[in-house]
Structure 1
Amino acid sequence: MQLKIRHTIPNQLVLPLGYHHIIQGIIYHSLAEEAGYSGQMHNQGYSAVDMGRCYKLFNFSLLRGKHHVVNRQIIFKDYVEWEVRSPDIYMIRLLENSFRKNGIQYGYQRFEDPELQLENETLEMDSAIIRMCSPICIYSTDKDTKKTYFYSPDEEEFSWQVSDNFVRKYSACYGVSPESGIWIMPLKVGRRDKYVTKYKGFYLSGWLGEYQLTGPRKNLDFLYQTGLGCRNSQGFGMFEIKENEDVY
């Protein structure tokens, strides 16, 4: 399920360039009205079967709107819009109710009466050309050195890592492994699509751009709701279908 958010900005909305933690905080704070739900989502999430990992099965887009950047701050004017998705319908409805009741607060700036659009769009295809709404982040961490390596779409292992991440998330959500994985291939990804941000003191790297995504329909729909790659609950991996394009 999807919740699309838009609100006007009477003056301006000023945020740090690395604002992912602020949007994530808005989501957790809004869910906190339901006793125990936010804490469970934040601390536990969903556990993958026999894989020792937990996933918060939601994702959100980058902020969209007229803006400029000054001194490592991004300044929005006129309006801002963004989107949250999750296979957890209850979570999305909680967010909608909280935003309608309390508005949305970015740090010290509160905006009342946001425009909210609740949708239940699903993917009914087994191959699609997609455009990233937030960067796809794929990495691995060396067990000995603890160093993290971020993969780029032109590396052979990138597609395998994306598929492996999907299997883990699917297993965490449904308690069983999917019958097959998925396949992703970069189509239009250039140097300008690389995205680097700082999240709570750590640098994260991802990629925007356009890709071909292939797999069983139910797998692609699951990824549409949860996001591609890692760090989905921190604002990575949301994509949209690029319309009127031939699928390769």
Structure 2
Amino acid sequence: MRLKLYLGERRTPFTVPLHYNYFLQSLIYHHLDAHLAERLHNEGFGEGGKRFRFFVFSRLMGDFQREGDHLRFPRGAILYIASPNSQFLESLMLHLLTQGALPIGETRVPLHKVLVEPQPEYHPEVIFKALSPITLRETLRQPGEKYTYYYSPIEPDFSERIIANLREKVRIWFGRDIPPGDAYCVPYAVDLQKNFHMINFKGTWVKGWSGLYRFHAPPEYFEMALEAGIGERNSGGFGCVEVYGGTTRR
């Protein structure tokens, strides 16, 4: 399930920082019950070092112009927030409905309305549209240093790592291992230059790609991809996807 937030007004422009992911993440945490926000932020779900927050959000969807280190939205924007965690979404929605405006950086943006969107119907193969960049990384080491390597969608390891990441999310959330079979997530319409994004998140530069992706996987993977995101850093606003072209919703 996901929430669809209508921000701003058609005739009243608003501006936000160019790199706004952290501000949106903070907004979400600050509009949850305090104990839930603390548990998600500090612990998440899982064991050991591999933990997930099980929520994801999109970019601000709408026409915009860049003005220096800010973005100007002249006619409002839409923000999607998704999660398989009903407690998370219920808490978030209850708090959002008490607000007339939401803080994004130094701007208070009017909140026009909030809609609840149910899960699309499962199909064995779909086209996903990335509503926020998909990122996958690995820390590599060489003598005297280590560095972060980001996988592009055209690399063979990209699909394998997407599915392995989803398998771990599915295992933790559903409490059992569900083999992926012949699952894949491969580029359908991705321009490595036009769909490339470099985003500053709390002082760290993160690389990711938007575009369209062909996705084939079991129902649990489909559900997890839509509600928790694909790839990494989902709770930071990376890897939010939707079914491209629309489907019948249940």
Give the structure-1-normalised TM-score. Answer: 0.90
Matched, 1:5 2:2: no
After TM superposition, the structure 1 = structure 2 runs for residues 1-248 of structure 1, keeping only pairs within 5 Å, are: 1-9=1-9, 11-31=12-32, 34-48=33-47, 52-103=49-100, 104-142=102-140, 145-180=145-180, 182-190=183-191, 191-243=193-245
Gap runs ≥5 in structure 2: none
How far residue 212 of structure 1 moved from its aligned partner, in angstroms, is: 0.5
| 8 Å contact from structure 1 (residues 127, 212) kept in 2 | yes
How many residue pairs get matched?
Answer: 241
Query: Is 1:183–1:213's contact at 8 Å kept on the other side of the alignment?
Result: yes
Backbone CA RMSD of aligned residues: 1.9
Name the aligned partner's letter for residue 209 of structure 1.
G
Larger displacement relative to structure 2 (8-17 or 62-71) = 8-17
Alpha-carbon distance in 2 for matches of 1:53, 1:143: 20
Distance 1:25 1:223 in 2: 22
How far apart in 2 are the matches of 1:194 and 1:151?
12
- What letter is aligned with 1:168? E
In 1, the alpha carbon distance for the partners of 2:68 and 2:130 equals 26
| Change in CA separation of 1:12 and 1:112 when aligned onto 2, cut-off 3 Å | closer
CA drift at 1:146: 3.5
Residue 110 (structure 1) shift: 2.5
| d(CA) in 2 for partners of 1:205, 1:98 | 32
TM-score by length of 2: 0.90
Output the CA distance in 1 between the equivalents of 2:135 and 2:220. Answer: 22
